[in-house]
Amino acid sequence: MKLERLRVQGVRCLRAVDLSLGDGLNVLIGANGAGKTSVLEAAYVLSHARSFRSGAREALLARGERRLAVYAEVRHAGGSARRLGLGRDGARWEARLDGEVVALGVLIGECAVTCFEPGSHGLMAGGAEERRQFLDWGVFHVEHGYLETWRRYQRALRQRNSLLRAGTPPDSALYAPWEQELGQHARAIDTLRADYLTALRPLLLAAAQTLLPELGMAELRYRRGWGEADDLAMQLAEQRGKDLGRGHTTAGAHRADWSLTFAAAPQREHLSRGQEKLAALACVLAQAELLAAQTGEWPIVCLDDLASELDAAHQATLVDLLAASSAQVLVTGTSMPESLRDRPHCLFHVEQGQVTRLL
């Protein structure tokens, strides 16, 4: 999968940017605040309908602008080309594929972008929601029915939570239909998530061993979000009283989590910030490699502020790994990273929201 062209309007400081990108390594250099990261955000938005920066939904919109838009021409490994467009005027996204209005899920299914950036350590140190998003994105891109199952689960969850917030008595018959639906869809979600992690595990453990050999053997663990022995619908019926007191549903697929631990760091608190970053990078690389194995094409890989996030040795290791793949890579930095100087690349200079190709 390659981004052949990327056009951005109204994203942060990018008022009007139009880029033709190379198939392999693309390096964007410029001063801090010039707009380099915003180019990566624009590509990422096409694949996730959100920024990789936390709390950045409204901040994506350039100051003084009412609308933002991202347009891309994408070529798949088999040679087919698609035109993708995503715009937002107010709170709602409008998605277009080859000029036709489509559901948002259809659009993001056409473009896979993964990113390693300064906040990526949150996969290790942050809350479970970030890890679920990472997991669900991977499942979504290989299981096309997953999004609809997830949406039905979320609808049932909202209905049950509404009953709880309204103070509906625990013996009310209103709960049962939503609990049955939650149980049905939770089982399907759990099966797909567990299967995905089973496939991801050997790739992730290998990447972790390459990047963090000093920590010893790694282990990937998954918790589905409710009791292992109990049917979820039955468990929810039994804990209505407790959930009433809390005002929300405390068990289910929306409470799932996973963890990556090491022999020399059995708890995530044992990792230094640098080790958290490397562990997160192992996750990003493993997910990209698995997507390539399952779909026949690599996702677009974004590396934000590479030289600041990784030391020279790990930069070289990462570049070697990506060079051995067929991935298109977008890298940002205040200057050209030493690890990339001798690699074939396209070079862009970013200044005050304008992007100029140098090589």
Asked if 125 and 247 sit in the same domain, the reply is: yes
Q: What CATH number is given to the structural domain containing 14?
A: 3.40.50.300
- Render pLDDT for 94-150 as a digit per residue (tens, 0 to 9): 999 999 999 999 999 999 999 999 999 999 999 999 999 999 999 999 998 999 999
- Render pLDDT for 157-171 as a digit per residue (tens, 0 to 9): 999 999 999 999 999
CB atoms under 10 Å from CB of 97, counted, come to: 18
312: left (phi over 0), alpha (psi -120 to 50) or beta: alpha
Asked if 282 and 313 sit in the same domain, the reply is: no
Shortest CA distance to 39 belongs to which of 64, 15, 63? 15
pLDDT band, residue 233 (cuts 50/70/90):
very high
List, in sequence order, every beta strand (DSSP E) within the chain.
Answer: 2-9, 17-20, 25-29, 67-75, 81-89, 93-97, 100-102, 113-116, 218-223, 257-262, 300-303, 329-333, 346-351, 354-357
pLDDT band, residue 335 (cuts 50/70/90):
very high
For the chain, how many structural domains are there in total? Answer: 2
pTM of the model: 0.93
| Confidence (pLDDT) at 252 | 97
Asked if 326 and 216 sit in the same domain, the reply is: no
pLDDT band, residue 58 (cuts 50/70/90):
low
| Confidence (pLDDT) at 63 | 80
Find the domain containing 100 and state its range.
1-112+299-359
| Confidence (pLDDT) at 343 | 92
108: left (phi over 0), alpha (psi -120 to 50) or beta: alpha
Indicate whether 56 pLDDT > 60: no
Residues 6+ apart with CB under 8 A from 259: 131, 220, 221, 268
Asked if 1 and 82 sit in the same domain, the reply is: yes
**Mean pLDDT on 276-297:** 96
Strand partners, 80: none
Shortest CA distance to 10 belongs to which of 54, 59, 52? 59
**Mean pLDDT on 73-95:** 91
Q: What percent of the chain has pLDDT over 70?
A: 98
Asked if 149 and 290 sit in the same domain, the reply is: yes
Q: How far apart are CA 197 and CA 318, in angstroms?
A: 22
- Render pLDDT for 10-35 as a digit per residue (tens, 0 to 9): 999 998 999 999 999 999 999 999 99
Spell out a b/e string for 10-31, using b for 16 or more CB atoms within 10 Å of the CB, else e.
bbbbbbebebebbebbbbbbbe
Asked if 227 and 318 sit in the same domain, the reply is: no
Asked if 184 and 290 sit in the same domain, the reply is: yes
Q: What CATH number is given to the structural domain containing 279?
A: 1.20.1050.90
Asked if 243 and 348 sit in the same domain, the reply is: no
Asked if 212 and 351 sit in the same domain, the reply is: no
Of the residues 295, 329, 350, the one at which a domain ends:
295
Indicate whether 221 pLDDT > 80: yes
Asked if 142 and 16 sit in the same domain, the reply is: no
- Render pLDDT for 300-316 as a digit per residue (tens, 0 to 9): 999 999 999 999 999 99
- Least confident stretch, 2-6, 75-79, 191-195, 226-230: 226-230
pLDDT band, residue 55 (cuts 50/70/90):
low
Of the residues 295, 328, 348, the one at which a domain ends:
295
Of the residues 279, 295, 311, the one at which a domain ends:
295
Asked if 21 and 136 sit in the same domain, the reply is: no
Asked if 260 and 149 sit in the same domain, the reply is: yes
Q: What percent of the chain has pLDDT over 90?
A: 85
| Confidence (pLDDT) at 54 | 67
CB atoms under 10 Å from CB of 3, counted, come to: 23
